[in-house]
Structure 1
Amino acid sequence: MTRTEETASTATRRREAPTTAHGGRNRWLPGWQRLLAGLAAGALLAGSMPPRTAWYLAPAGAAALTWALLGLRWRRRLVLGAVAGVGFFAPTLSWLTGFHPAGFAAVLVLEVALFAAAMLLVDPGRGRWWTVPAALVALEAVRARFPFGGFPLPGMALGQLDGPFAAAAPLAGSLLVAGLATGAGAAVTGLVVARRRVRALVLVAALAALSTAGIVVAQPGGTSTGQLRAAVVQGGGPRGIPAVEADEQAVTERLFDVSDALPPDLDLVLWPESSVVVTGPVAETGEADRVAALARRTGATVVAGVTESESTTFRNAAVAWGPDGRILDRYEKVHRVPFGEYIPARGLFERLSDMTALVPRDAVPGRGPGLLDTVAGPLGVVISYEVFFSDRARAAVTAGGQVLLVPTNAASYTTEEVPATEVAAARMRAKEMDRAVLQAAPTGYTAIVLPDGSVGGQGELSTPELLTATIPLRTGLTPYARTGDLPVLLVVASALIAFPVLRRRRRKHRAADA
């Protein structure tokens, strides 16, 4: 037996040797220092999330997480990932307790399990620090798609909008932003613990230079096709009221009251989601006549969120009235909120929980890109929850949208976490797509976001607001609008799958040569 074979045989015997009860616990539990570092890492990541603007906490959290993970076997990485997941998700999802405590617990368990599973992708070798940000990017990609089409709240990239890494959004979207932010922290740890520091420093410098060059080359190169004089209306009113208990007519009347002060020479007026709630098609109602009169009075295109109730379902739409009062176009929401606008497996949940009382009817899903063909120009639309999904914004922009509209409704929430996170998502979509974004909410936050992601105006919570601005209409597609997440996902897959496979093959060849 060769020395290599003896070493492999010894390692196998150690792995297969039985353990005592205490030894079994030790196989699963990292040391208390690492557990504390994992919890701190999650808390630091949470501290970077909106409404806070401490973007630098995310790299610090990634650095702590990398230190805690390096050298751990898969069982301990799993436990450490769960601890870090609790530190991250428990505070950032706490707003769910206001709706349904059991629902909060279920979502928390799922998200923590996903975080823990992602840590199994990490290579624990000292020189493999870059697998930590790769695993975190993979986690974000999965959360944007699973379960029920995705639940990307909170999103790690949304805490980076006031930091340097957000400049990468036009190149490869929020996944690259998250990867760069967490990669910067992991790289610091990698340099500190590396055995071959010169080699590690060269790798970090090369990655930094490549990222910088890509960001510079891929800055938006679209063209302006004109300007739009727009107004965004917020009616104000009480918050923390579930949709099924809201006074729908009062919401509409407050919007009409604020709209009395609309200035002249407007091109576009945006009202929030569920501004008008009717039974049956909106075109046949008195509310539609009142909105049409508003459009004729202002000489502007008016886009309002409309909820059309039916016997067992409802439709959530953005409807555009032209300056002459005619309905020009409509878009019905495609990406519905699970347990907010529909109940998956409703029959099962009706037997298990009372949460279906909050969603008595399911929304009918729309189809196609969110695009309104209007006198004001082609207007891209993402309704409320859709702003968290870049694919919906991409669909609207690639279909021809020269500006993005976000009619939303965050009146059910008592805290500012969700409204602030929606504004952050609108800013990220603006940077990714190189489009101005207008967001209207009945009780806030209503905001005007410029194509570079900066906030041109934002209202307060609960108060009546009327925001006006002249925004650019833009054409052209950023690299991210053209490709979506695929390039980043390919890089991550290579980092987590291809490189380890190649390394194992090299080891086998060396062992065979020995």
Structure 2
Amino acid sequence: MDRLKALGRVLPRVVVAVAAGALLGFAFEPHDHPWLTIVAVPLLLAALDGISMKVGFLVGAGFGITYYLVLVPWLSVIGGDAAIALAVLEGLFYAVFGLFATQVLKLRLWMLWIPALWVATEFATASVPFGGFPWGRLAWAFSDASLGKLAAYVGIPGLSFVVAFVGVLVYAVLRRASGLRLRAVALVAGLAIVFGSSLIHLSIEGDGKTVKAAMVQGNVPGKGLEFLGRARTVTKNHMNATLDLEKRVQAGTEMKPDLVIWPENSTDIDPYKDDETRADIEEAVHAVGVPILVGAVTEGPGPNERQTTGIVWDPVTGPGQRYAKRHPVPFGEYIPFRNQLLPYIKRLEMIGAQTVPGVGPGVMPINGVTYGDVICFELAYDNVIQDVVKGGAQVLIVQTNNATYGGTGQPEQQFAITRMRAIETGRTVLIASTSGISGVIRPDGTVEHKSGQFVSDVYVATVPIRDGQTLATTLGGWPQWIITGLGLLGLVLALVNRRRRRGGDQEPPPAPDSTRTREKVPA
């Protein structure tokens, strides 16, 4: 009977947490309802307030698993089991958040510690295991909202803190234990943040110089996993699209670009070793007469190894500068514990050779302009972006291949992340995808061009060159480290407070004729 009563008390909180996780998932693309974040966060806190740490772990797990099931259903293209496994893995981070948040909510400064602990949780998900998966950060939902402009000043971790803080303020207004003064302060602070962000103006001007770049989306012959067996067709599609571009230039109906950008996996066959692939690239390069940044998979450096690269192919000198992707996707481009897992999971054989991460940022000076090359998923990693901007990148390039996930919502999510990177860095971002979404994003995050999916698309843009740094790129990783440190400090204070309570440090009950003194609440 007691167990049924306990279940009756716990189950409603788990249901509320699951609803909060689902709502948070719908805040992101392709649903794009960012203000659901300030509904989801208070709901989760309501479910966590006043319960034990064990129950908090369960509530947090229900929230996190549901959140990722709604956020990344596109992973089911690889397999439903893969989508569930990722949701459970990432959900465990929020289970730990729930475990500790139950205690942090008891502190006097809980309104500071909770959003800091949230950022610490995001930092953990972005770091481990296998390099982390930074796809579920609150900041990514605000690429099309005024609050997202704050990323230019506080970076992506800082913006996640602000979003979580606004959610905390909403909860403070609704929380029963909040006094009238605290509710009034929370309400005013929340409105000030939201409406104040709408007054921010981000410039799209450069330093007086511009460059013309062409993004080539040649398209692929199939969807899902079908495209993997048609590498030569993909390369020829990009070659033909580039030849068509040059015809329009010659006819005077299109601007002549200074650089042509092909996407990641525009050739899956090593152009250094395959004569036909090399001939296709050189035909396109000689036709346009300007360098092409080719997305190529190259063999090596060791046996049964490969690298996903961007190669600058010059019409005169041929292949030159090369950037190798630093964050290949686990179980997508390489297999952790390969020798142990392959005998038991035959599906992993489709991955082929092991992708080896590159060393060093994709900083590429080309004809007097310094570009920062970033390949696909790695644009979600802060260190990759920070390294290219601090390395002098004046324009950012994203080479990507989303053909596996076309039509699933993943390309829209990645495009939103790219928009946030433009805001954070104050740089124009040029995106070339094999099958969509390709485009041009201005330094304020607005979209100049956005292609469709599974269509051929060639777009030439004149974009500003920028050398200056935003406050966010000047600060680099410091906001994340400081906020994470605050989150851990709040956690320590909460555990110390809990230990004191359990150790009987509270005042004994007063005598009938005495006056109870007010209990001190730790920070």
TM range (shorter): 0.7 to 0.9
Structure 1 contact 370–381 (Cα < 8 Å) conserved: yes
Which one of the candidate residues 93, 105, 109 is aligned to 2:72? 93
Structure 1 contact 71–126 (Cα < 8 Å) conserved: no
Distance 1:510-1:119 versus aligned 2 partners, 3 A rule: closer
Distance 1:332-1:233 versus aligned 2 partners, 3 A rule: same
What does residue 11 of structure 1 align with?
A: none
Which one of the candidate residues 232, 257, 262 is aligned to 1:266? 257
Shift of 1:462: 0.6
Q: Deviations over 1:256-284 (max 9, x none)?
A: 121122234211111011112334736x7
Shift of 1:124: 3.1
CA distance in 1, matches of 2:28, 2:202: 25
Q: Which moved more, 1:307-316 or 1:215-224?
A: 215-224
Matches within 5 A, 1:410-425: 410-425=402-417
What does residue 47 of structure 1 align with?
A: 26
Distance 1:135-1:240 versus aligned 2 partners, 3 A rule: farther
RMSD over aligned CA atoms reads 3.1
Which one of the candidate residues 209, 230, 233 is aligned to 1:247? 230
Shift of 1:459: 0.7
Which one of the candidate residues 218, 225, 229 is aligned to 1:235? 218
CA distance in 2, matches of 1:206, 1:103: 41
Partner amino acid, structure 2, of 1:411: A
Matches within 5 A, 1:397-476: 397-476=389-468
Q: Deviations over 1:162-218 (max 9, x none)?
A: 122211112222222222223212211212224322134336646876899899899
* Gap runs ≥5 in structure 1: 1-21
CA distance in 2, matches of 1:464, 1:218: 35
Q: Does 1:383 align with 2:375?
A: yes
Q: Which moved more, 1:212-221 or 1:94-103?
A: 212-221
Distance 1:87-1:499 versus aligned 2 partners, 3 A rule: closer
What does residue 81 of structure 1 align with?
A: 60
Structure 1 contact 223–476 (Cα < 8 Å) conserved: no
Structure 1 contact 169–431 (Cα < 8 Å) conserved: yes
* Gap runs ≥5 in structure 2: 250-254, 509-516
CA distance in 1, matches of 2:3, 2:476: 45
CA distance in 1, matches of 2:228, 2:197: 50
| SS, match of residue 134 in structure 2 | coil
Shift of 1:442: 0.9
CA distance in 2, matches of 1:104, 1:125: 35
| SS, match of residue 56 in structure 1 | helix
Shift of 1:338: 0.6
Partner amino acid, structure 1, of 2:67: F
Structure 1 contact 170–220 (Cα < 8 Å) conserved: no
What does residue 172 of structure 2 align with?
A: 190
Q: Deviations over 1:224-274 (max 9, x none)?
A: 251111110111234434278330010011111211222342111110111
CA distance in 1, matches of 2:411, 2:256: 30
Structure 1 contact 268–301 (Cα < 8 Å) conserved: yes
Q: Which moved more, 1:471-480 or 1:133-142?
A: 133-142
Q: Deviations over 1:295-352 (max 9, x none)?
A: 3332322111011235511121101123535333111111111111111110111133
Which one of the candidate residues 138, 155, 171 is aligned to 2:120? 138
CA distance in 1, matches of 2:360, 2:107: 47
Structure 1 contact 458–467 (Cα < 8 Å) conserved: no
Q: Which moved more, 1:411-420 or 1:40-49?
A: 411-420
What does residue 71 of structure 1 align with?
A: 50
CA distance in 2, matches of 1:103, 1:89: 12
Matches within 5 A, 1:161-180: 161-180=143-162
Q: Deviations over 1:67-125 (max 9, x none)?
A: 22222221221111112123211122222222123322321221111111111231233
CA distance in 1, matches of 2:420, 2:222: 26
Q: Does 1:105 align with 2:84?
A: yes
CA distance in 1, matches of 2:36, 2:483: 25
Q: Deviations over 1:128-168 (max 9, x none)?
A: 34444333222211111111001123333211111222111
Which one of the candidate residues 279, 285, 293 is aligned to 1:303? 293
Partner amino acid, structure 1, of 2:49: L
Structure 1 contact 228–376 (Cα < 8 Å) conserved: no
What does residue 288 of structure 1 align with?
A: 278
Tell me the percent identity. Answer: 26
What does residue 116 of structure 1 align with?
A: 95
Q: Which moved more, 1:317-326 or 1:381-390?
A: 317-326
Structure 1 contact 171–215 (Cα < 8 Å) conserved: no
Structure 1 contact 224–475 (Cα < 8 Å) conserved: yes
Distance 1:231-1:26 versus aligned 2 partners, 3 A rule: farther
Distance 1:497-1:319 versus aligned 2 partners, 3 A rule: same
CA distance in 1, matches of 2:492, 2:342: 46
TM-score, scaled to structure 1: 0.87
What does residue 156 of structure 1 align with?
A: 138
Matches within 5 A, 1:191-230: 191-193=173-175, 194-202=177-185, 205=188, 224=207, 226-230=209-213
Structure 2 contact 309–322 (Cα < 8 Å) conserved: yes
Distance 1:352-1:286 versus aligned 2 partners, 3 A rule: closer
CA distance in 2, matches of 1:428, 1:171: 12
Q: Which moved more, 1:79-88 or 1:246-255?
A: 79-88
Shift of 1:449: 0.9
Shift of 1:485: 3.4
TM-score, scaled to structure 2: 0.85
Partner amino acid, structure 2, of 1:157: A
Shift of 1:468: 1.8
Shift of 1:33: 3.7
Structure 1 contact 443–462 (Cα < 8 Å) conserved: yes
CA distance in 2, matches of 1:306, 1:55: 36
Structure 1 contact 244–358 (Cα < 8 Å) conserved: no
What does residue 320 of structure 1 align with?
A: 312
Structure 1 contact 222–475 (Cα < 8 Å) conserved: no
Structure 2 contact 116–486 (Cα < 8 Å) conserved: no
Select the structure with the greater relative contact order (CA < 8 A; seq sep ≥ 6): 2
What does residue 359 of structure 1 align with?
A: 351
| SS, match of residue 307 in structure 1 | strand
What does residue 3 of structure 1 align with?
A: none
Structure 2 contact 430–441 (Cα < 8 Å) conserved: yes
